[in-house]
Structure 1
């Protein structure tokens, strides 16, 4: 792996109303505490979204979803949260290209620009490393 410190993993979750969806992208070595994330970001209770939701909202299948999948989400129903660690030097993020066959390395700020140009918001949040 070219930049192991910039490797990302993604969680696709929804709240208990099944109306609000979230893509959470974190450093590859982190585990996300959904209860803690909920409290910090003032969401309703969270759980993992279904394969059907992923296909319907981002036209992707499990294992292949990434922030690039937001480009398939024309309705803007998916809120994007990115681990603020990706802003630290060297400012890179490694994500799949909507297929789990390759990793694309790009500047984190370039990813922001691509997603924001599509009309989605980007929120950077602290995601503590959980043991």
Structure 2
């Protein structure tokens, strides 16, 4: 079996275009944390995201996408998302293998690289109350804005049905 190369930003934006999904991408200096990205708020309207790549003891992987300032209780979130046990952070190697991104560039758009359906995507209910959702386009040197419903349409086009649940405190 040959390994396929992870899709990149260009592949992602072309995929969105092919689906007829409107999007807008703003380039910026690489940001690795929510704190570093705060300076961009005035330039990029909409809800900004924080992403937690977690796994349970049975190696079921989840990506929790929440509003950047939201708190997630990692001691109890497993009861909400259907995990087999309490969750811990997934290793960077699995993040790259499944979503094609490095820590600091984690994004719901990683669904485009999860061709084996190894990850369950969870979108926080409060985040999804926003009309515009902002995510990294598979790299942390840009931010792509997309409509809430279009984000779900994108995920479904990649073969994922995201769970929309209240996972924040």
What is the TM-score when the length of structure 2 is the normalising length?
Answer: 0.70
Q: Say which of 136, 146, 150 aligns to 1:110.
A: 150
Larger radius of gyration: 2
Q: Say which of 18, 26, 32 aligns to 2:66.
A: 26
Q: Which runs of 5+ in 1 are unaligned?
A: none
1:35 is displaced (CA, Å) by 2.1
Write 1 or 2 for the structure with the bigger share of strand.
1
What is aligned with 2:22? none
The yes-or-no answer on 1:58 pairing with 2:99 is yes
1:58 is displaced (CA, Å) by 1.4
Q: Structure 2 CA distance, aligned partners of 1:10 and 1:87?
A: 14
Q: Structure 1 CA distance, aligned partners of 2:144 and 2:82?
A: 31
CA deviations over 1:98-129 (Å, ceiling 9, x no partner): 11011111111101001101101111011333
Tell me which stretches of 4 or more aligned residues in structure 1 moved more than 4 Å.
Answer: none
Q: Structure 1 CA distance, aligned partners of 2:80 and 2:63?
A: 15
Please show how residues 28-107 of structure 1 align to structure 2 within 5 Å: 28-44=68-84, 45-88=86-129, 90-107=130-147
CA-atom RMSD, angstroms?
1.3
CA deviations over 1:4-44 (Å, ceiling 9, x no partner): x60101000111122x1000000000121122211223312
Q: Structure 2 CA distance, aligned partners of 1:83 and 1:43?
A: 16
What is the TM-score when the length of structure 1 is the normalising length?
Answer: 0.89
Q: Which runs of 5+ in 2 are unaligned?
A: 1-40
CA deviations over 1:48-101 (Å, ceiling 9, x no partner): 00011111111211111201111001001100000111332x421111001101
